[in-house]
Structure 1
Amino acid sequence: MIGITLSADQIRSAPPEVRRWIEHQVLAGLGLGPEAPPAPALPVQGAHLVACTTDDAAKILAQIQGLLPAVNVFFEFGRPGIAMGQPPIMMFRLIDILHHTRLQNIGQVMASLEMINKALIEARRDPSARFCGFDNEGHCLIAPETQRAIASVWQTVIARQHGVAEGEAA
């Protein structure tokens, strides 16, 4: 057996396919990923993705507000993601969403994403609208405008809660 040590800078500067291979090796070694190496990425079906406005994001939140796991998953997309492609698309690893939301499995993340997709369809009154898409490497894909809209809604929620807390303290 041969071991290789790479610095964080070396990994960051590696080509995307090398970074994906390293990610796969680490996840497989920890028992968190599939044993087979990932297949080449399928083309992203960006035509179905909707670039959500702040108003859309607020309507989605209103629809899922009573479903805490879905709300937690929704706000994960307010974090900065990895921009890829032209036109750019934001990538989020499903395993990171699982970890950050403390859900029990990817199935729960997927169920939450389905609730978010349904809320968008209802908010837009468009059955072909999709909040997110997926690649075959465990990434969730959204439009950059959607990420910015969710971050804006998050800031509004925090500001409102901060204002309520200040009002209670007065």
Structure 2
Amino acid sequence: MTGITLTADQIRNAPAPVRQWIEQEVINSLGLNSAGLAPRPPVAAPAQAAHLVACSVDDVAGVLEHIRGTFPAVNVLFEFGRPGITYGQPAVMTFRLMDILHHTRLQQIEQVMTSLEMINQALTVVRKDPSARFCGFDNEGHCLIAPQTQASIATLWQDMMARQQMQQTKPDERIAPAA
């Protein structure tokens, strides 16, 4: 057996087919396909999509409240506020696990998977439904969510940023004016 080491820049700058091959090799080497996390090929709308729930802004806020103390999971949650690729019927939005890993600056794909599991568990509590799923997976290393969920995450993020902006522009009311 021969091994090679590639830097993140080398992988990022590699042609798309090479990146996809590397991504698939990493996923296979971690046993994610055999662990039941990637049950459906991406060519058809995944059957798992029927278990995905379309999260409202309130649902996402509830999930955020449950995972607030775990910074990696919060970062992963807000990654889904970015636009994804929509396909299938019913429509699902796809995000590459390797992109999530890169954008969140986590070190290992297992950290992304652990964060996603925390998010899924938090949603079951928020929805009071043990079958509710925030996300699902396919055989190609993609995470799948409902398009409404992506829109709700983006809305929550924008609302949070607007509130923060307002707080920063308000005069400090704790200081009493001089008489």
If the TM-score is normalised by the length of the shorter chain, which range does it land in? 0.7 to 0.9
RMSD: 2.1
**When the two structures are aligned, how many residues end up with a matched partner?**
144
Distance 2:171 2:24 in 1: 47
Partner of residue 114, structure 1: 117
Query: Which segments of 5 or more consecutive residues in structure 2 lack a partner in the other structure?
Result: 1-14, 29-39, 174-179
SS of equivalent to 1:34: helix
Query: Which of 116, 124, 129 is the equivalent residue of 2:127?
Result: 124
Distance 1:81 1:168 in 2: 39
1:19-168 mapped onto 2 (5 Å cutoff)? 23-28=16-21, 33-34=24-25, 41=41, 44=46, 45-167=48-170
Distance 1:48 1:32 in 2: 26
Query: Which segments of 5 or more consecutive residues in structure 1 lack a partner in the other structure?
Result: 1-21
Deviation sequence 1:83-129 (CA, Å, 0-9, x none)? 01122110000000000000001100000001101110000000000
TM-score, normalisation: structure 2: 0.74
Q: Higher Cα Rg: structure 1 or 2?
A: 2
Distance 1:117 1:136 in 2: 19
Moved over 3 A (4+): none
Distance 2:100 2:19 in 1: 17
Contact 1:94–1:139 (CA<8 Å) still a contact in 2?
Answer: yes
Deviation sequence 1:14-55 (CA, Å, 0-9, x none)? xxxxxxxx7342344xx554189xxx8265111110110111
Identity, in percent, stands at 58
Distance 1:156 1:119 in 2: 21
